[in-house]
């Protein structure tokens, strides 16, 4: 049976950094945003913030709010590793989908960091779908909260704060894995 560590958190809270810690230990991580970006590219669109947001919303409207999680379950069962990471859980139906599929082997980890700290990190990150002003990040937060991210974060089994250095954060994630 596969044990799962799933990360939930606002944009730029540190989910990718947590995933990178797992990957460096040889643990595979499924990125739920990539599942949407795959669909964006399959449709011949550029993976911009607008397109990923739009396709993500459409998938959830057409296939249900756990659409992206449901696309992950067969990928996980197919690979059947001992331990696996999931980056980017966004709503209660997604948590319920994973809990139904994997029961107590599914651990939800909420990564928490204030808006100002996250914005400073986004500016330094410069990803293709990143925003350059804090109001755009706030708007993205609102979109995530609109999908029920706040409620999903409240369901977390473990809360990890990421307000300090990257070293400190990586240490917390390493301890969690071990």
Please identify, using beta-carbon distances, which residue of 14 and 85 lies nearer to ligand ATP: 14
The verdict on 142 binding ligand ATP (CB under 6 A) reads no
Q: From the DSSP assignment, how many helices (H) and strands (E) are in the chain? A: 9, 5
Among 5, 6, 8, 12, indicate the residue that binds ligand ATP (CB under 6 A).
12
The verdict on 94 binding ligand ATP (CB under 6 A) reads no
**Number of amino acids touching ligand ATP (CB under 6 A):** 17
- If you search the block for the tokens 């739009």, which residue do you land on? 54
8 Å CB contact between 32 and 97: no
Alpha carbon distance 69, 139 (integer Å)? 23
Please identify, using beta-carbon distances, which residue of 33 and 93 lies nearer to ligand ATP: 33
| Residue 154, both tokens | 């409240």
Please identify, using beta-carbon distances, which residue of 105 and 115 lies nearer to ligand ATP: 115
Alpha carbon distance 133, 76 (integer Å)? 37
Question: Nearest residue by C-beta to ligand ATP?
Answer: 121
| Residue 12 annotated as part of some ligand binding site | yes
Alpha carbons within 13 A on the beta-carbon side of 95: 21
**Minimum CB distance to ligand ATP, residue 25 (Å):** 16
Alpha carbons within 13 A on the beta-carbon side of 175: 8
Alpha carbon distance 90, 69 (integer Å)? 9
Alpha carbon distance 44, 21 (integer Å)? 32
Please identify, using beta-carbon distances, which residue of 56 and 93 lies nearer to ligand ATP: 56
Interface stretch with ligand ATP, choices 10-18, 53-61, 67-75, 94-102 (CB under 6 A): 10-18
| Residue 10 annotated as part of some ligand binding site | yes
Among 5, 17, 65, 97, indicate the residue that binds ligand ATP (CB under 6 A).
17
The contact set with ligand ATP (CB under 6 A) reads: 9, 11-17, 33, 121, 124-125, 162, 164-166, 169
């Amino acid at each position: 049976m596969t044990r799962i560590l799933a990360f939930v958190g606002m944009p730029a809270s540190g989910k990718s950094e947590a995933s990178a810690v797992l990957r460096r230990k040889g643990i595979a991580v499924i990125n739920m945003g990539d599942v949407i970006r795959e669909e964006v590219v399959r449709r011949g669109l550029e993976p911009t913030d607008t397109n990923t947001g739009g396709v993500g919303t459409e998938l959830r409207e057409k296939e249900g709010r756990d659409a992206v999680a449901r696309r992950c379950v067969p990928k996980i069962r197919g690979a059947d590793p001992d331990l696996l990471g999931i980056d980017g859980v966004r709503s209660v139906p997604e948590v319920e989908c994973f809990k139904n599929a994997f029961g107590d082997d599914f651990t939800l980890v909420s990564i928490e960091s204030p808006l100002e700290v996250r914005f400073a990190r986004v500016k330094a990150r410069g990803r293709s779908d990143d925003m350059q002003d804090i109001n755009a990040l706030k708007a993205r937060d609102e979109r995530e909260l609109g999908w029920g991210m706040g409620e999903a974060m409240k369901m977390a089994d473990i809360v990890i704060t990421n307000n300090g250095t990257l070293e400190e954060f990586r240490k917390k994630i390493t301890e969690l894995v071990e």
